[in-house]
Structure formats: structure tokens, C-alpha cells
Chains A and B, each alone.
Chain A
């Protein structure tokens, strides 16, 4: 294109730009970059491509829903939230790189993101170095508490230990452990083994398979033969489909040996086939069927926005909560500054779809209720047990004597 003398349109654009620049510089003293008089920039960092996209896209949808709701309601401290969306591409190095970009180039005041523990571990040093604030929405293996991360999913004492308590209450004392071969299942099974030792429970076997494994005949036949009281399942992703199909073929019913899964949520059941998994158990803090007024509204809003065939799950709900918790903390602090927001975190509470939840300032985890659910033949999960009261997060399991050896 040949250079042309500035016409009226170019001048208008230049004027708008100048005004926009003026607006950026005119914000109140003390506000971090990324905050203007009427907008605030936040980052969203999930895998929108690659193997994890299948799960993380649902979480992104939930975060966007929360942002839209808040914006429609007047925003945060009078500012409209403007999300910058980045793709972690199911790759740890990309997560670290994009996190750096969000904090330094886009001036995001906070970031909602991550799913796998590997992605969180990769982002952690970036957030600590830049004093950023990451909201991490998925249940995980514990043993972490960074001042620059807020963990809105469950740690082990809010999911795995209550699940063990439940199984013990039901008189299930012999367990068969099966999991994918990486950090979460291995850590979870260490905790389960220590719990079993301390409570007179028997671990019949501890089996690991590579991620994406599809041949479960050996394991399912072994389960049929050893007849454990229950199976504790920490398999992740597609492997669950093969596992449950083959378990059914091996003739194991939920009445013989119920399988309690900690990584199977509403989103995965359709692919596994409700026929194959109905009657088995899950441990989470939220189900689509959880009966609270907030949840009715959440499920309604979600299906209105994304389609009636979509389901809501625990990680999605935790991600949705993260945005609302952040808003509450910012309003409490009356500032977008990370240090101010962190100081206001302790005791921040909202009425979430899973019930009233509160941030525990010491650990920056969320105090929440544990729930055991049973999968129905329509593909949803019915709650059959809940912890008597919300459980205070204990990521290092310091409150459990039997866990002393685990955490050193």
C-alpha cells in the first residue's frame, strides 16, 4: 500500500489512540498496570489444543461464564473484566512461557489457569518470580502451598481421605489400587497405603499403567479373582473407558467390588458409557446434581450459554468459583494489587454451587465439603454421602499422625 497523506479517518484513529493512552495513564495512583478507569485485564491460561484440551476447554468455558456474569453485574470495583486468553497447548514449557507473557506483556492482574500438576509446577516459579497470582482449579496431590497460587480444587484431605473414611464406614477393608503412572496416582496411593496401615485395612494390589493404556484384561481379571471390597481408581483420561468396559466384561459388578474414582467426573461418563460405569462411586466436592440454589442458577446459566447437552463438573465449578472468589477478595482489599489481594484472601467467602466456601489464608486453599457420589444410568452422579461439615485444607497432612512419614 502506497503511503497516503493522513485523511480524516486516520486522524480520528490517532485521536482515539491518544485518548486511550491518556486513559491508561490517568488511572488512580497505586493501581497496577492492566487496570484502567473502566477495565481490568486478567489472564486465562488453559490447554486449548493437544491432549489436555478435551478437559481444559470445559474449564475455560466456566471461567468465561463467570467473567460474563460479573461484567453484566457491573464488573469488579467498577471495572469490566477483559480476559486475555492464551493456549498452554498441553505442554509445560508453553504454560511457563505464556504465563510470563500474561504477567509481563499483558499486565494481567491475576491469571486463571492450569489443569495438570505438571502445568502448575511449570507456572509456579514464573508467578513467584513476578509476584503474580494464579488461580488453580483442579483437585491435586497436595504437598504444595505457594503464596502466589490459590488452589480452589480439593487437596488430598478433602477428597482422598474422606473417600477412605467412607469406604471404611461401609465396611470395605480390602482395597485394590489401580492408577496411571505419574505423580498424582503415585502420591495418592502412598497416602492410601499409609491410611490403610493405620486403620487395619488391606491393600491387595497396587497397579500402574502408562497414560493412554487400553489393555486392562490382566488387571480386571485379577480384580475378579481377588474380589477386593473396593477398587480405588486413580486412572486418568481415556484409560478409564477401557478399564470400565473390561471390568464389566470380567463380570465385576458394583455390588461385588465398587470402584471409587477420583478423576472421573460428569464430563467423562458419556464417553465411558453409562452402562459400563453405573453404580460405581466417585469422590469430588461438587456434582451437577448438588442441591443448592446457586447450583440451580449455575447449571441453568451454563446450559443456556453452551447448550443443553453440556454437563457441569467439579473442576469447572472450581474454576467458576475462582473468578467469584477473586472478585470478592479484590473488593475486600479495594485494590487489584497482588499483595493487597493476598492479604484479603483469608476468610473470603462466597455462596458457590457446591455450597458456602471460604478461603483458608494460611494455605491459600479453599475450605470445602467432601462428597461421595454414585453414578446413575443416565450419566449423572447422585450424592450418597457428604462430610458432616466443610473440611479445612491440610495440603501437607500435618493433622494426621499416620501421615507423618509421608511428608517428612
Chain B
């Protein structure tokens, strides 16, 4: 039992990582319906932003991570915005073409990273105040880096919720998701809303990338490690549902951690995937759905 309680913080932290990786997709895929296979590469670029700030510009590791977070948001957000403007918007309504297009973009970005930074992983040192952890009992240990990611995920969620519910731009975004044509007739510039949504979604990928440097390898293929999980979280949560995404990420994290407590990681992954398949059979629309009067 104690061992199971020990897995609770582990599960929460896995969930927080999944949530961070999926938050951006919740916008571009969940809200706009764009299957952006290059989302993983945006995460990767966020991670390299942290590397560049530390290794090329020479910021002190003690605070370069904190500077990297907004910088990465701006860098990947802008990149995503440019992608939407230059390429993706021409493919709206053609999901298969979008999938192939963004997959190709992802490969180009991966190779660009390989040519710029080299194929081997690079080292992004964690700030000293994030190494180590708390030992509560023999079984319960919490790593500072995990706490930081959890806090970051909560911060992002609060900011997004505030934006969606309180700000004018956020309310417009929701209006467009619920009924694009009706929103357009009320005078909302849906093109502008699409561009903003893509900017925010891509920027969140950058933040996730910076956070992931704390717990994993920083290399050209970093994004591919997380892209499948991120899509799963959004699909399980229900498209366009922030609450659904949060619930799905935490549920997957906890499930993973509990199964891993008695089976090894290989088997745990298999069991979790099987559970997902069963869940989607029973509830293909995901945990939560958008209630809408649109004729779709």
C-alpha cells in the first residue's frame, strides 16, 4: 500500500508532463481540428531554445531556464503562426493533406536541428535549485524538477482558463469553435482568431520543450518521443476540452504509475495502451464533449 502511495507523486508528475505536451495540441488539434504532426518538433525547438540561451548566449543556468520559458513561447509561437499563415491555412478542411504536410514539415525541422546542433543529444544543465528532491518517507520521494513541472503545468492551465473565459480574444476563440459561421456573422474575424489560436498552441509547445529538458534527452528526435502521447491525451480528453485534457493527462499518468508499481515499464506501457483502446471503443468522443447546437 505504501508503495502505491509512493507512486502517487510519480503519477502526478507523469501526468503533468503529458499535460504540458498536450496543452498546445488542445488548441491546434482540439479546437481547430488541425492534425499538426509537427507539434512534436515545436516542442523540440522549445528545448533547443533553452540550450541556445545557455550554451550560445551564455546565460547562467541558475536563471536561464526561467528566461527560456517566455522566449521559447515567443519563438515557437511565431514559428507556428508563420506555418499557419504560409502553409497550413491553405489546407483547412483537408485533414489527410494537412497530416502529410505537417509530417513533412516536422521532418524538415528535425533535419534542420540535426544540421544546426549535431545529431548527438546536447546538455541543458538544470539550475542547481532544481536538482535533488524531498524524501518524505522511504517510499515517497518528490523530485524538485517534477514539482517545478507540476507547478508550470498548473500555471499554464490557469493562464489558459483565464484567457478562454475572461478575455475578449478567448471568448471569440470559443465562439469560433462552437459555430464558425455564426461567429463570423457576428463580426468576429475568424481568420485572425485562427492565427491567434495557432500562435498560442505552438507557443505552449515551446514551454513544454523547455520543461522537458529537465527530465529527458535534448536531441533532434525529442518531439517524436511525446507526440503520440500528446495526441492520445487530447483524444481521450475529448476534442477542444481543456478540462478533458487535464483529466486525461492525470488519469494516464496515474494509471501508468500504478501499473508500473507491479509490472515493469514495458508491460505497463502495453497495459495502458490496451486500456486506452478499450476506453475509446466505449467512448469514442472522449471524456468530455463540447455541447453545441451546430448542425455538424
Does A249 contact B120, Cβ atoms closer than 8 Å?
A: no
Size band of the B side of the interface? 35 or more
Q: What residue of chain B has the Cβ atom nearest to residue A275's Cβ?
A: B125
Query: Which residue from A51, A208, A225, A275 sits with its C-beta under 8 Å from B221?
Result: A51
Does A242 contact B215, Cβ atoms closer than 8 Å?
A: yes
Most buried by A among B121, B122, B219, B261: B121
Q: Decide yes or no whether B162 CB sits under 8 A from chain A.
A: no
CB distance from A89 to the nearest CB of B (A): 14
Q: What residue of chain A has the Cβ atom nearest to residue B18's Cβ?
A: A215
Does A270 contact B123, Cβ atoms closer than 8 Å?
A: yes
Q: Decide yes or no whether B257 CB sits under 8 A from chain A.
A: yes
Q: Decide yes or no whether B7 CB sits under 8 A from chain A.
A: yes
Give a binary string over A258-297; 1 marks a CB under 8 Å from any B CB, 0 the rest.
0000000001101111110000000000000000000000
Which of A77-85, A105-113, A216-224 contacts its partner?
A216-224
Does B146 contact A218, Cβ atoms closer than 8 Å?
A: no
Does A181 contact B266, Cβ atoms closer than 8 Å?
A: yes
Does A224 contact B141, Cβ atoms closer than 8 Å?
A: yes
Q: Decide yes or no whether A171 CB sits under 8 A from chain B.
A: no
Q: What residue of chain B has the Cβ atom nearest to residue A271's Cβ?
A: B121
Does B261 contact A218, Cβ atoms closer than 8 Å?
A: yes
Q: Decide yes or no whether B211 CB sits under 8 A from chain A.
A: no
* Residues of chain A with a CB closer than 8 A to B17's CB: 215
Does B216 contact A238, Cβ atoms closer than 8 Å?
A: yes
Most buried by A among B135, B218, B266: B266
Q: Decide yes or no whether B14 CB sits under 8 A from chain A.
A: yes
- A224 CA to B138 CA in the complex, in Å? 8
Does A213 contact B265, Cβ atoms closer than 8 Å?
A: yes
Does A219 contact B265, Cβ atoms closer than 8 Å?
A: yes
CB distance from B92 to the nearest CB of A (A): 33
Query: Which residue from B6, B132, B219, B221 sits with its C-beta under 8 Å from A221?
Result: B6
Does B264 contact A270, Cβ atoms closer than 8 Å?
A: no
Of residues 52 to 92 in A, which have CB atoms within 8 Å of B's CB atoms?
A: 53-54, 57
Of residues 138 to 154 in B, which have CB atoms within 8 Å of A's CB atoms?
A: 138-139, 141, 143-146
Does A53 contact B119, Cβ atoms closer than 8 Å?
A: yes
Q: What residue of chain A has the Cβ atom nearest to residue B7's Cβ?
A: A218
Does A241 contact B217, Cβ atoms closer than 8 Å?
A: yes
* Residues of chain B with a CB closer than 8 A to A218's CB: 7, 10, 257, 260-261, 265
Q: Decide yes or no whether A347 CB sits under 8 A from chain B.
A: no
Most buried by B among A210, A213, A214: A214
- A208 CA to B121 CA in the complex, in Å? 22
Does A241 contact B133, Cβ atoms closer than 8 Å?
A: no
CB distance from A54 to the nearest CB of B (A): 4
CB distance from B257 to the nearest CB of A (A): 6
* Residues of chain B with a CB closer than 8 A to A274's CB: 123
Most buried by B among A181, A273, A274: A273
Q: Decide yes or no whether A207 CB sits under 8 A from chain B.
A: yes
Does B216 contact A241, Cβ atoms closer than 8 Å?
A: yes
* Residues of chain A with a CB closer than 8 A to B219's CB: 54, 238, 271
- A215 CA to B11 CA in the complex, in Å? 10
Does A246 contact B215, Cβ atoms closer than 8 Å?
A: yes
Q: What residue of chain B has the Cβ atom nearest to residue A207's Cβ?
A: B264
CB distance from A263 to the nearest CB of B (A): 14
CB distance from A216 to the nearest CB of B (A): 8
Does B123 contact A273, Cβ atoms closer than 8 Å?
A: yes
Of residues 190 to 215 in A, which have CB atoms within 8 Å of B's CB atoms?
A: 207-210, 212-215
* Residues of chain A with a CB closer than 8 A to B139's CB: 221, 225
- A181 CA to B267 CA in the complex, in Å? 10
CB distance from A27 to the nearest CB of B (A): 40
Of residues 334 to 392 in A, which have CB atoms within 8 Å of B's CB atoms?
A: none
Q: Decide yes or no whether B36 CB sits under 8 A from chain A.
A: no
Give a binary string over B27-60; 1 marks a CB under 8 Å from any A CB, 0 the rest.
0000000000000000000000000000000000
Query: Which residue from A54, A212, A225, A248 sits with its C-beta under 8 Å from B119?
Result: A54
- A273 CA to B6 CA in the complex, in Å? 28
- A207 CA to B268 CA in the complex, in Å? 12
Q: Decide yes or no whether B71 CB sits under 8 A from chain A.
A: no
Give a binary string over B138-182; 1 marks a CB under 8 Å from any A CB, 0 the rest.
110101111000000000000000000000000000000000000
Q: What residue of chain A has the Cβ atom nearest to residue B145's Cβ?
A: A249
B residues sitting closer than 8 Å to A (CB atoms) are 6-7, 10, 13-14, 17, 119-126, 131-133, 135, 138-139, 141, 143-146, 214-219, 221, 225, 256-257, 260-261, 264-266, 269
A-B pairs with beta carbons under 8 Å apart, 8 shown: A51-B221, A208-B266, A218-B10, A238-B216, A238-B225, A270-B122, A272-B121, A274-B123
- A-B complex: 8 closest residue pairs judged by Cβ atoms: A271-B121, A241-B217, A249-B143, A209-B265, A273-B123, A238-B217, A214-B216, A54-B119
Other A-B contacts than A246-B215, A248-B132, 9 sampled, CB-CB below 8 A, are: A54-B219, A209-B265, A213-B265, A218-B257, A218-B260, A238-B121, A238-B216, A241-B121, A248-B131
